[in-house]
Amino acid sequence: MMEVFEYYARCNIEINKKMIEIIIKSDKKPYDIQINGYFKTIGEILDHIFVGDIIWLNVFKQVRDSDIFVNSIFKKDMKWRERQFNRIDVFKEKRNELDELIIKYIREIKVEDLEKEIVRYTKTGLKLVKPFWKS
């Protein structure tokens, strides 16, 4: 069962690498060029994905703490819709670092952790409780 989680984490790494390669080849300044959509730039989308991964990892800490959380990536108070990066090369470096931390964390998860509960709250205060494996 645990192999599936590592497999998806590895797929995530490959998808991120390919996505970043495409962006770098097509445009060196994804944080500056406006696009038409909910997110105003490709950089905003990249920031959103990055912040989402940080937030979810912090949520998962309820189930199993790890020394990955001492990494400086987790020290900054990241919020949705705030610019995190200004340059794709800096984003790429931090994304690669975060992806390696995700793999390390996945390898620390135990089968018995999968049924442990994760508690989250929506913006409106609604309490959501799910088993870790469904989160």
**CATH label, 2-134, candidates 1.25.40, 1.20.120, 3.30.1460, 2.60.120:** 1.20.120
Please, are residues 120 and 59 in contact by the beta-carbon 8 Å criterion? yes
**For residues 8-20, average pLDDT:** 93
Q: Residue 96's closest CA among 108, 106, 88?
A: 88
- Cα angle vertex 104, ends 70, 74, to 5°? 30
pLDDT of 25 higher than 70: yes
Q: How many helices (H) and strands (E) does the chain have?
A: 3, 2
User: What tens digit of pLDDT does each residue of 37-92 get?
Assistant: 899 888 889 999 999 999 999 999 999 999 999 999 988 777 777 788 888 999 99
φ/ψ of 128, rounded to 5, equals -120, 130
More confident residue, 2 or 116: 116
Which of 33 and 54 is assigned the larger pLDDT?
54
**pTM for the full predicted model:** 0.86
Would you state the pLDDT for residue 16? 93
Q: Where are the domains of the chain?
A: 2-134
pLDDT of 28 = 65
- In a 3-state reduction of DSSP, which class is residue 84? coil
For residues 104 and 130, give the distance between their C-alpha atoms in angstroms, rounded to a whole number.
23
pLDDT score recorded for residue 80: 75
> pLDDT per residue over 87-120, tens digit each?
899 999 999 999 999 999 999 999 999 999 999 9
